Structure 1
Amino acid sequence: MRLELGYVHIKDVQFGSETKVENGVLYVNKEELISIISEDEHLASVDVDIARPGESVRITPVKDVIEPRVKVEGPGGVFPGILSKVDVVGSGKTNVLKGCTVMTTGKIVGFQEGIVDMTGPGAEYTPFSKTNNVVLICEPVEGLKQHDHERAVRLAGFKAAAYLAEAAKTLTPDTVEVFESLPLQESIKKYPDLPKVGYVLMLQTQGLLHDTYVYGVDAKQIVPTIIYPTEVMDGAIVSGNCVSACDKNTTYHQMNNPVIHDLFKEHGKTINFVGVIITNENVYLADKERSSNWTAKLAEYLGLDGVIISQEGFGNPDTDLIMNCKKIEAKGIKTVIITDEYAGRDGASQSLADADKAADAVVTGGNANEIIKLPPMDKVIGTLKYIDTIAGGFDGSLAEDGSITVEIQAITGATNEMGYNKMSARSF
């Protein structure tokens, strides 16, 4: 499967009379975009704002972040099973508005949503302080059930991203990146002397609005399966979860998965990147046993020599992570796990809720319990109402002057367990 990603680099976003890209600037027809999103009867009001790098702007509570992409050639469309038909994606050509995102915010269900500061110390902890963000502020109709509210906001983000991406469909990309995966037997024949490496991508599926969707299917309902790496680049996996902001994988993270990108860079050189095994993180023990058994079975079936495992979330999913690790290791396959830590504010507590001696190669995204003080911003997109109750916040987090004292777990993407961040740690 071969996919060409054509990057249309966006240096700025502005409102205009027509949605288009011109000289690196994305112009957005605000009224037209609002009209499209407002078609959903579950939303009482919709507004759109823009946040640029370096501006004194705070966005909270952030629900999801999405990169606008559009299929130019090849089967299917971006976000299959959600906005597009359920075709297999991941081949052909896809154009990307690189340097631009859609963010969803507003009165969001649940408390585990995040903060993005576009400047100041908090900006260093999130990749989205470096992107030009089109922010949707969505307010639900009175009495809307939580699941319907979450779904409405989730779909609003995808619709907005698809609308903006259409502006890039006929453009010649500034740069092109090519990714190709051969069928298993062909790949082994082509690189017989290279170690076969796979990637186990764990998906948040704890329920109660901690969900991920694969081709439109709630991943709680799947058993582990094999996908081509390029499928995720076309939006086959999307976020629908409200887990702690620091380590939840937004849809943007899924589409730009750095583990997949890095494995492709080494493919055919130092490793043979065979493919991706996706698995879930259900809360029941029987589900955990089933999924980890299947994950190890598939790794063995593919004849892998090594596996990288990335987690999503913390606490309950720590068990899934360790079960995957020790069962794959028991098959004689080397593993490296990517996680983050909740080691207390002094860093002295046990980092994960589970452990095993087989997990002896670990990459960490940092300690989510570290405290940070965020200075007040000139502008807030969304609301500060929930600062004291979001994950990482506490009574008194929000000061009268608008400054915020929180754990870094409140910052979107701060300790991302795909490694899409700046923090890690090294043991000596």
Structure 2
Amino acid sequence: MVLDLGHIPVEDVEWGPKTLLDGSILQLNREDLVASAWGNDPRIASIETEIAKPGESVRIIPIKDVIEPRVKVEGKGGMFPGLISSVETVGEGRTHALSGCSVMTVGQIVGFQEGMIDMSGPGAPYSSFSKLLNIALVIKVKERISRHEHEVALRMAGLRAAVFLGETGRHAQPVEIQRFEMYPTTQVSRADRHLPRVAYLYMLLSQGLLHDTYLYGRDLKNLLPTLIMPTEVMDGAIVSGNCVSACDKNTTYHHQNNPIINELFKRDGQDLHFVGTVVTNANVTLMDKERSSNYAVKLIEMLGVDGVILSKEGFGNPDADTMMLCAKLEEKGIATTVITDEFAGVDGRSQSLADTTPRANALVSVGNANERIALPSMAKVIGDETIIDKMAGGQPGSLSEQGITAELQVIVGATNELGFELLSSRET
């Protein structure tokens, strides 16, 4: 399976009479953008659109999802299979990405675990999204719509808008084309046979209660672990439906640009042999945790690997799934590296994970989400910052005339467990 990913840099976004890509400038027609996002969804009451640029005194809150506009240029299927396009298997051919911009769904709060970003100031360095040209869809839904229907309406609106904007790059000439090649595990070149065989175990949040992720349009909490080609992720096979704590939530953008997958491809054939990706879920009951972990470990073992990179999403309950997987893999003699964030209290002295195992002897920390930060007021707010008191990481009194004081937990992606950001922790 070979995928060519063409990067088309977007250096500015502006409103105009038509939606088109003029060199590196993305011009947007506001009415067409709203129409594309709205579709025929009767649950939506209104959509307002805003553009937020790096360095501006702008705060965006509360953010549901972030999506990179992409378009399938060659090969089977289309973007976001099972939700926007058909369920045909993707991950081959050629895809174009509008690099440097995003679609953000914003608006009325769905669940308390949503987030924010500042485009400037001390909060900006904690989220890569502050460096993007963000096209915000501020969406209101009609009264008496359930929280689950609210989430669906916003998720689909964001995906529709991203596909609409992605089409502007269909005939553009990419500045860079990355080739990702993945072949059956039995096809190993003679030169690579001495390299350690490494797989990626990709845990996705799937606990229900607005903690959901979708694979080809199916809710993962109803699925057993499965093998996927990592290039499928780049074509939108995995979509976020999560209202989980913002700091370690995997938005759809994170999935599209998964840095673990990118790094494993980069090092394939150099100091390791990347043999594949297993998607697993985070469960609620002990029986489901046992069933899922047993099945995931079986798939990993069948790949005949020497080592595994295990990433998780969320905290608390998923810590148990993570440690269960790690212990079972290590018992099989498969060296396992875990990537996780920590909730160690504001002073960093509390137990940072809800569960542990002595077999977790290679752990990469991406920071303490309980660390507090003072965020000065911004000149413009897209959305509603008064809800910060209700968000995970905020508290009554978080918002004042001076700005917001809260935990890093409120910033989208601040401690993302795919290693997307720069925070870490060291043992002393």
Report the TM-score, using the length of structure 2 for normalisation.
0.99
Give the aligned residue type for 2:274.
Answer: F
Partner of 1:141: 142
Partner of 2:70: 69
1:75-114 aligned at under 5 Å gives the runs: 75-114=76-115
Q: 1:336 to 1:120 in 2, by over 3 A?
A: same
Uncovered stretches (5+) of structure 1, i.e. residues with no partner: none
1:9-408 aligned at under 5 Å gives the runs: 9-38=9-38, 39-187=40-188, 191-401=192-402, 403-408=403-408
Give the aligned residue type for 1:274.
Answer: V
Give the aligned residue type for 2:295.
Answer: W
Report if the CA contact (8 A) 1:239-1:250 is conserved: yes
**Residue 327 (structure 1) shift:** 0.4
Give the aligned residue type for 1:421.
Answer: E
Residues matched between the structures, number: 427
SS of 1:246's partner is helix
Q: 1:319 to 1:73 in 2, by over 3 A?
A: same
Give the aligned residue type for 2:227.
Answer: I
Give the aligned residue type for 1:337.
Answer: V
The C-alpha deviation readout for 1:107-156, integer Å capped at 9, x for no partner, is: 03111110110000000100100000000000000110111110000000
Q: Distance in 2 between matches of 1:303 and 1:162?
A: 38
Report if the CA contact (8 A) 1:108-1:150 is conserved: no
Q: 1:188 to 1:145 in 2, by over 3 A?
A: farther
Give the aligned residue type for 1:11.
Answer: E
Q: 1:191 to 1:280 in 2, by over 3 A?
A: same
The C-alpha deviation readout for 1:78-131, integer Å capped at 9, x for no partner, is: 100000000110010000000010000000311111011000000010010000
SS of 2:188's partner is helix
**Residue 336 (structure 1) shift:** 0.2
Report if the CA contact (8 A) 2:8-2:169 is conserved: yes
The C-alpha deviation readout for 1:308-336, integer Å capped at 9, x for no partner, is: 00010000000000001000111110000
The C-alpha deviation readout for 1:225-277, integer Å capped at 9, x for no partner, is: 11111010000001000000000000000010000001111100100000100
**Residue 40 (structure 1) shift:** 1.3
Report if the CA contact (8 A) 1:102-1:160 is conserved: yes
SS of 2:389's partner is coil
**Residue 187 (structure 1) shift:** 2.9
The C-alpha deviation readout for 1:335-392, integer Å capped at 9, x for no partner, is: 0000000000010011100000100100011000000000000000011121011000
SS of 2:390's partner is coil
Q: Distance in 1 between matches of 2:4 and 2:159?
A: 21
**Residue 420 (structure 1) shift:** 0.2
Partner of 2:418: 418
The C-alpha deviation readout for 1:373-421, integer Å capped at 9, x for no partner, is: 00000000011121011000011000034x0000000000000000000
Report if the CA contact (8 A) 2:14-2:25 is conserved: yes
Give the aligned residue type for 2:132.
Answer: T
The C-alpha deviation readout for 1:199-235, integer Å capped at 9, x for no partner, is: 0000000100000000000000110111111010000
SS of 1:14's partner is strand
Report if the CA contact (8 A) 1:109-1:150 is conserved: yes
**Residue 190 (structure 1) shift:** 6.0
Uncovered stretches (5+) of structure 2, i.e. residues with no partner: none
Q: 1:189 to 1:223 in 2, by over 3 A?
A: farther
SS of 1:318's partner is helix
Q: Distance in 1 between matches of 2:216 and 2:142?
A: 28
SS of 2:248's partner is coil
SS of 2:76's partner is coil
Give the aligned residue type for 1:167.
Answer: T
Report if the CA contact (8 A) 1:187-1:274 is conserved: no
SS of 1:388's partner is helix
Give the aligned residue type for 2:406.
Answer: V
Give the aligned residue type for 1:204.
Answer: L
Report if the CA contact (8 A) 1:413-1:420 is conserved: yes
SS of 1:413's partner is coil
SS of 1:241's partner is coil
Report if the CA contact (8 A) 1:46-1:136 is conserved: yes
- What is the percent sequence identity of the aligned residues? 56
Q: Distance in 1 between matches of 2:109 and 2:11?
A: 29
Q: Distance in 1 between matches of 2:145 and 2:354?
A: 35
Q: Distance in 2 between matches of 1:310 and 1:36?
A: 34
Q: Distance in 1 between matches of 2:210 and 2:108?
A: 15
**Residue 188 (structure 1) shift:** 6.3
Q: Distance in 1 between matches of 2:104 and 2:37?
A: 13
Q: 1:276 to 1:181 in 2, by over 3 A?
A: same
**Residue 295 (structure 1) shift:** 1.1
Report if the CA contact (8 A) 2:377-2:401 is conserved: no
